[in-house]
Amino acid sequence: MSEISGDIVNKAAKGDIKAFESIYREYFEFVANVVLRIVKHTDDAEDVAQEVFMTIYRNLKTFRGESALKTWIYRIAINTAINHAKKLSREFRQILEHGNDKAVAHSPPEDEDAIKNQENKKMIARLLDALNPDQRACIVLRNLEGLSYQEIAENLNIPINTVRSRIKRAREAMMSLSIPRYTLS
Amino acid sequence: MKCKEIQEVLLTDYLDGMMNEQNRREAEAHLSSCVYCKEFMEIAMESTVEPFKNAPKLSLSHEKIWQRIKEEIISEEKTAAGAGFLSELASSFKNIFAVRMALASAIVAVIVVAAVVFLNPVGQNQTVKNTTSDESIQYLASIIDELSSTTTEEEEGYGTEIEKYFL
């Protein structure tokens, strides 16, 4: 993923939609993947992704380049997704669908790889469902996006030891799901 | 390292390959001698790390969301432009209102002064009366002066015979 130039950021901040589209295309895949993993529901994830990019568009004027644009966008995406997931949790909305069929199924269902993908996807969804939104965000960023603890801490604006603690608890929860004798300590 | 300590490290830094060389060696030495921790590590790897390896990236409809974003941006800009026009209109009305207020205030002030000057008969008569009495006093004073000057002249006289005859 290459960094967007300062010129494009300035143009987008002044309302140039073409320039903003370049930023959108550059970061869409990351935003979509993270948002969908944390929010889980495709329809909700679309709304959240839209909200993420509208927040970026409205606030580009205030972006002063103190952090990298990538970090700034990641932070907005992750926090928006976590807040949305927490809101859903508060409303006791149980999302039991593990499919997210509309989100992935690009291959025909009879394809062997597609079936494997579906199974893998269901397994991941089941594991992530066992976590609270904060833990889920850490696991998505670590296990799926490959960010280091330090990068996760910067993106979530939390201490590195909090990242470590959330990952530990998340993995304990996932282990107890797979093997019940490993219950939470 | 005790089993509890090593299991905490296994779940985080060890599984993520973030331990320094010395700590990693210590952990591996423990794992080679503790069956329980070795099993714990294998289960942790299998149930919390392996499923995420080679996980397909999820995605949403790129174009659909872009269209929605574009529509929202355009809608916001129209609203902002409308708000700007209304703001200018309100500002113009405010200016016109301010000028009218100034004119109205001036007219009211003139009316009030006129009312005080022309519609207050007591004041006016007093002025006339005062003027009249001043003039009268001055007139009377001049007569008195004339009379007194005459008396003086009479008293002074010319000392002639004919003067005595007519007086």
**Three-class DSSP labels, chain A:** CCCCCHHHHHHHHCCCHHHHHHHHHHHHHHHHHHHHHHHCCHHHHHHHHHHHHHHHHHHHHHCCCCCCHHHHHHHHHHHHHHHHHHHHHHCCCCCCCCCCHHHHCCCCCCCHHHHHHHHHHHHHHHHHHCCCHHHHHHHHHHHHCCCCHHHHHHHHCCCHHHHHHHHHHHHHHHHHHHCCCCCCC
């966008």: which residue's tokens? Answer: A73
The mean pLDDT value for B54-79 works out to: 88
Give B57-113 as a DSSP string: PP---HHHHHHHHHHHHHHHHHHHHHHHHHHHHHHHHHHHHHHHHHHHHHHHHHHHH
Contacts of A28 in chain B (CB under 8 A): 62, 65
pLDDT at A106 over 70: no
pLDDT (tens digit per residue) in A49-71 = 999 999 999 999 888 776 788 88
State whether residue B2 sits within 8 Å of chain A by CB: no
CATH assignment at residue A13: 1.10.1740.10
Facing B11 at nearest CB: one of A37, A120, A172:
A172
AA identity, residue A88: L
pLDDT at A147 over 80: yes
Q: How many domains does chain A have?
A: 1
Within a domain: residue A175?
Answer: no
Within a domain: residue A132?
Answer: no
The mean pLDDT value for A61-89 works out to: 87
pLDDT at A100 over 60: no
Residue A56 CB-density burial (10 A; 0-12 exposed, 13-18 middle, 19+ buried): buried
Residues 6 or more apart whose CB falls under 8 angstroms from that of A135 comprise A166, A167, A169, A170, A173
Residues A168/A174/A180/A181 CA torsion (nearest 10 deg)? -20
Identify the domain containing residue A84 by its residue range.
1-95
Give how far B44 is from chain A: nearest CA, Å: 6
The Cα A61–Cα A108 span in angstroms is: 44
The Cα A49–Cα A43 span in angstroms is: 10
Task: Search chain A and give the residue with CA nearest B4.
Answer: A185
Contacts of B62 in chain A (CB under 8 A): 25, 28, 32
ipTM over 0.95: no
Contacts of A137 in chain B (CB under 8 A): none
Q: Is A49 within 8 Å of B77 when comparing Cβ atoms?
A: no
pLDDT number for residue B93: 67
Q: What is the mean pLDDT of chain B?
A: 77
Distance of CA B113 to the CA centre of its chain: 36
Within a domain: residue A134?
Answer: no
The mean pLDDT value for B101-130 works out to: 72
B50, B54, B58, B65: best mutation site toward chain A, by most A Cβ within 10 Å? B58
B11, B16, B60: best mutation site toward chain A, by most A Cβ within 10 Å? B60
Within a domain: residue A47?
Answer: yes
Give how far B94 is from chain A: nearest CA, Å: 30
Q: Is B12 within 8 Å of A167 when comparing Cβ atoms?
A: yes
The Cα A134–Cα A83 span in angstroms is: 9
The Cα A134–Cα B66 span in angstroms is: 28
Contacts of A45 in chain B (CB under 8 A): 60
Backbone angles phi, psi at A107, to 5 degrees: -95, 155
pLDDT at A96 over 90: no
Name the region of A40 (left: φ>0; alpha: ψ -120 to 50; beta: rest): left
Residue B140 CB-density burial (10 A; 0-12 exposed, 13-18 middle, 19+ buried): exposed
pLDDT number for residue A73: 92
Contacts of B3 in chain A (CB under 8 A): none
